[in-house]
Amino acid sequence: MPSLKSIKKRIVSVKNTRQITKAMKMVSAAKLRRAQENVVAARPYASKLSEVLGRLSGNVPADCSPLLQQRESSDKALLVVVTSDRGLCGGFNSNLCKAADRFIKERRSSYAELKIMTLGRKGYDFLKHRHPVWKNHANIQSNCNYQTAALLAQGIIEGYLAEEYDEVYIVYNEFRSVMTQEITFTQLLPVKPPTSAADEVEPREYIYEPGQAELLAELLPKHIEVQIFKTLLESVAGEHGARMTAMDSASKNASEMIGKLTLIYNRARQAAITKELMEIISGSESQKG
């Protein structure tokens, strides 16, 4: 049985760890509220922009914009993997990285070249040992803003127009709730606007000024920017939710461990006291004899 001093030292160490995990949980909870508000605010705009693109693209030929046109030989692709820069958030990063790894292995035979771009240090650290990473952008989610998303989108669009890749996919954790983040794959390029069910049943006529082609030329890059910005917001909110859940679980586990160690400490202390009493009684009896 370990000594009383070592057990007491372990109890103090676990208590210190519990204080840290509780503090991290409180910090993540505070950050989560703001991140969740940003996600809720961005979703309607992204959804409405997709709806407008769906109506516009349905009335113009696909070759009016290279961002809409499906290329005949799609043998080059780009996968954008969005993870966090920090850990201690449960399976938030590992599950997504494993899903990206499966996607790469399944699709690599379909493409002559499959490039990987990582947004976040954890994704880069995981994938660099398994696949060659084309580009990595770290420390962009700590100060997530639209300007950063616009620059990323501009670089991706320029590479697509230069035919460095024919298709662009992005994988990220979509925020569902504090306890749930859903791994989501989305095709960024070429753009596939959703079709409106209401317009299919009852087509509507619109008057556009300027023309539809001009509007598409302006809206399509904006659509890519908004999708990347929304993806970053979803990932940030999911990270804080996952970290809050993980730290709450760690705090509970620490409390349970403290209880078990305290029980072991009391038993060891009781055994030591009993041993001392037995030695005293034995000594007293020997003197009487």
97 near 119, Cβ under 8 Å? no
User: In Å, what is the CA distance from 46 to each residue of 43, 51, 230, 257?
Assistant: 5, 9, 8, 46
Exposure string (b/e) for 105-127, b if CB count within 10 Å is 16 or more? Answer: eeeeeebeebbbbbbbbbbbbbb
Task: Tell me whether strands 76-82 and 167-175 are parallel, antiparallel or unpaired.
Answer: parallel
Task: Tell me whether strands 113-119 and 181-189 are parallel, antiparallel or unpaired.
Answer: unpaired
User: In Å, what is the CA distance from 98 to each residue of 32, 83, 118?
Assistant: 25, 12, 14
Q: Rounded to whole angstroms, how far apart are CA atoms 90 and 247? A: 9
Q: Rounded to whole angstroms, how far apart are CA atoms 106 and 28? A: 35
Q: Rounded to whole angstroms, how far apart are CA atoms 55 and 196? A: 7
Spot the catalytic one: 64, 89, 97, 144.
89
* Amino acid residing at 231: T
75 near 166, Cβ under 8 Å? yes
Q: Rounded to whole angstroms, how far apart are CA atoms 93 and 116? A: 16
Is residue 89 annotated as a catalytic residue, yes or no? yes
Q: Which residues are catalytic?
A: 89
